[in-house]
Structure 1
Amino acid sequence: MTISRILVIAGSDSSGGAGIQADIKTITAFGGHAMTAVTAITAQNTLGVAAMQRMEPALVVAQIDAVLSDIGADAIKIGMIGSAPIAEAVADRLAMADARMPLVFDPVMIATSGAMLADDAAIAAFERLMAMATLITPNLPELALLSPEGAEALAARTGAAVLAKGGHGEGDRLVDRLVHPDGSTETWIDDRIETRHTHGTGCTLASAIATGLGKGDGLDQAVAAARRHVRAAILAAPGLGRGSGPLGMPQR
């Protein structure tokens, strides 16, 4: 039996809505095998982040080594990095990995609750990781921090495709734009789903894309399937918590 092996490098969410908990749930739903290198532990719930402890960079790298030296991986998803030293250590380690392996980088900077999860030094250190990525998946506030000139400029600068997620935009229509390094684009437009239960949408989307790429799907195909899954998961949200609750598990 062949199963796609997906390594997630990200933080833990104690509420189970985002972070590696959402990643594992999503990768499993897509028929993949999820493995993790935890970068930080957060104490959070649907109302916000109460505390955070970053891992030592050497421990993060040790987790990556343990996975890649034995089981291996067909794709890598990077979420919350947490600090500049962790970003640099991860970039050093991944520079030794197979450059053909798909890498999806979700530049987690701001939690759904609004809490900042990356400082200026960490954001600056993202450059090396973005240059290694197959796809970068910023939401609109993150895109503004990474590239005030927009998605096209970020794709040209990094050599990676950029999925500019439109969930933070205004209006009743949600627009997601996939911009390739050559400037070509694909656009998806959907009706906005009015709900407060959107905790973990970015993590879920990026992990679904990574699993599709790990299976050998093309980028456009992987993005389209991941978007369908996220929308279905929002509609299936169980309504937990007093704030931005977790997504549900739609039938596949």
Structure 2
Amino acid sequence: MNNVAEALIIAGSDSGGGAGVQADIKTMQACGVYSTNVIVAITAQNTLGVQDSLNIPVSLINAQFSSIFADFNIKAAKTGMLADRVSLTCVVENIIKFKINRLVVDPVMVAKGGAKLLNDDAIVTLKKQLLPLALITTPNLPEAQVIVGHKISNQNDIMQAAKKIQAMGSKNVIIKGGHDDKKRVRDFVLLENQKQFFLESERIETNRTHGTGDTLSSAITSALAKGHSVEEAIRFGRKVVTKTIEFGIIVGHGHGPLNHWAAEEFRDEI
């Protein structure tokens, strides 16, 4: 029997299976990492959108954290949909309580179909309490704009936004460029040691990108759980996402999910 790296997912459930905890589990499985999870919210969701949601009581969020850390050896963790200020504050308290250091924060705010997944009053809490705990924060362009409080229009704006997010406490930042309209996708990375660079690839024309952010952050978390450096984890995560989009699958009638089976090709790289 083999010992495997163990990681924790802190996020909402997607009944359609393309994003949220389900995408996280699929990604970590493909990367050879055992995933545990704290469910913060449940959504009625498919590739067409989010139809309903229900937040998990704080007492049960606390119980999930206690149960996991009483048994598992968690090497890294990630957050996704955290729903509202009460849930987010509870999550922050548990991250501190259980000394989660290798934390990836995916600041999920809006679903692919446009539904809001983070209440306005929770955004301040995210910036003031969660970002200072993050080893890596992975906003897309719209999320980065909300965090820094202004429009991001060009390359210099992206670089300055990353610095502002880092100043809020996140040690490392990757701002994803998939939401712009350029022919090549450029993600900007700012590391704790101030090294900075762009990761670039050809844009794949498809609407099957539901769960892209979850998949990236989970692949990064998987690499961290296996002991890789931040830069290695980010580069690995981006490679996984590109592959899962490139070899898409036809599921659903809206914004379809990624092909997480494709990520298995890279399992031996981490």
**Which TM-score tier does this pair reach, normalised by the shorter chain?**
over 0.9
Alignment partner, residue 213 of structure 1: 224
1:236 CA drift (Å): 2.0
CA distance, structure 2, for counterparts of residue 214 and residue 182 of structure 1: 21
Say which SS state the counterpart of residue 95 (structure 1) adopts. Answer: helix
Of stretches 206-215 and 88-97 in structure 1, the one that deviates more from structure 2 is 88-97
Show CA shifts across 1:141-167 (max 9, x none): 000000136111111221421110000
Show CA shifts across 1:36-89 (max 9, x none): 100111001111000000111221121011001111300011100011011111
CA distance, structure 2, for counterparts of residue 98 and residue 49 of structure 1: 33
Alignment partner, residue 239 of structure 1: 250
Amino acid at match of 2:108: V
1:166 paired to 2:167: no
TM-score (norm: length of structure 2):
0.90
Residues 118-133 of structure 1 aligned to structure 2 (within 5 Å): 118-127=118-127, 128-133=129-134
Amino acid at match of 1:174: V
Alignment partner, residue 142 of structure 2: 141
Residues 37-48 of structure 1 aligned to structure 2 (within 5 Å): 37-48=38-49
1:98 paired to 2:99: yes
Amino acid at match of 1:5: E
Say which SS state the counterpart of residue 75 (structure 1) adopts. Answer: strand
Mapped contact 2:136–2:173 kept (Cα < 8 A) = yes
Alignment partner, residue 115 of structure 2: 115
In structure 1, the gaps of 5 or more residues are: none
Show CA shifts across 1:90-144 (max 9, x none): 1111112235x30001000011111110111111111211110100000000000
Amino acid at match of 2:133: M
CA distance, structure 2, for counterparts of residue 60 and residue 228 of structure 1: 32
CA distance, structure 2, for counterparts of residue 213 and residue 167 of structure 1: 23
Q: Give the length in aligned residue pairs.
A: 251
CA distance, structure 1, for counterparts of residue 171 and residue 205 of structure 2: 31
1:186 CA drift (Å): 2.1
Mapped contact 1:152–1:181 kept (Cα < 8 A) = no
Q: Percent identity?
A: 37
Say which SS state the counterpart of residue 245 (structure 1) adopts. Answer: coil
CA distance, structure 2, for counterparts of residue 227 and residue 19 of structure 1: 18
Alignment partner, residue 69 of structure 2: 68
CA distance, structure 2, for counterparts of residue 228 and residue 58 of structure 1: 38
In structure 2, the gaps of 5 or more residues are: 151-159, 266-270
Mapped contact 2:136–2:170 kept (Cα < 8 A) = no
Extract structure 1 runs of 4+ deviating beyond 6 A: none
Alignment partner, residue 229 of structure 1: 240
Mapped contact 2:6–2:75 kept (Cα < 8 A) = yes
Mapped contact 1:13–1:20 kept (Cα < 8 A) = yes
Alignment partner, residue 52 of structure 1: 53
